[in-house]
Structure 1
Amino acid sequence: MKRIVVASHGSMAEGMKNTIELFAGHDNDVDYISAYTKKNDDLNETIDKLFSSFNDDDKVIIFTDLKGGSVNQRLTVKAQNNQNIFIIYGFNLPVVIEAILTKEEITQEYIKNLIQIGKDSLGTIDFSKNESKNDDEDFFN
């Protein structure tokens, strides 16, 4: 079974949860970790509990906010001997939604394609191209 985890420092993961549910619905198998948001939370305990919920045949994609951050480091250490767990750092909303909605098999090749989708979804709007136009219809062309 496909499993998705969104993990961050602070409340970023919970904020993503609200937006993800808006676009992808509430019936997705997604876990969220918002580290360091409650005084007595133990990140290692939270991670241990999460990993104990995984089955041997689960394919797990874990999204973390920062490469080398404590959340990323602890999840990486825990996952390092499991070939069915993939960790992507520096995630964005389009890439997480793609991972949730895909019907593709989760493989290393799929993960590479998923990262490219994340890169392709980052950009800027070039206002100089349409200086003379003020037509909403042309905005997305």
Structure 2
Amino acid sequence: MKKIIVASHGNMAEGMKNTIELFAGHNNNVSYISAYTKKDDDLTETIDKLFDSFDSDDKVIIFTDLMGGSVNQRLTVKAQDKSNVFIIYGFNLPVVIEAILSKEEVNNEYINKLVDVGRTSLGTIDTKKNAVSSKNDNSDFFN
């Protein structure tokens, strides 16, 4: 079974949860870790419990907010030598939704494809080009 983990420092993961569920629906195979948000939380314990819930045939995709951050580091250490666990850092909303909704087999090739989705979903809008004309005609906005 495919499992998705969204993990961040602070409340970013929890905030993403609301938006992800709006677009992709509630999914019991998606878990969220918002590290360092409560005084009594123990990140190591949270990660240990999470990994204990994985079956050997699960394919797990973990999204972390920041490469080299403590959340990423602890999850990476725990995932070492587990061929069924994949970690993507620097996630964004489109890549997480893609991972949740996709029916593709989770493997290294698919993970690289997800990273490409994340990259291509980041861009800029030329507001000068798309500015509304004096006729208030914005029909070419999406072109």
Matched, 1:139 2:136: no
Q: Aligned letter for 2:142?
A: F
SS class of match (2:139): helix
Q: CA deviation at 1:27?
A: 2.9
SS class of match (1:137): coil
CA distance in 1, matches of 2:28, 2:49: 19
CA distance in 1, matches of 2:52, 2:75: 13
TM-score (norm 2): 0.95
Matched, 1:6 2:32: no
Question: Which 4+ residue blocks in structure 1 deviate beyond 3 angstroms?
Answer: 130-134
Q: CA deviation at 1:130?
A: 3.4
**Residue segments in structure 1 that go unaligned for 5+ positions in a row:** none
Please name the residue that 1:71 is paired with: 71
- Trace 1:39-118 onto structure 2 (pairs within 5 A): 39-118=39-118
**Residue segments in structure 2 that go unaligned for 5+ positions in a row:** none
Give the total of aligned pairs. 141
Matched, 1:22 2:38: no
Higher helix share: 1
Q: CA RMSD in A?
A: 1.1
Deviations 1:51-106 (A, max 9, x none): 00000000000000000000000000000110110000000000000000000000
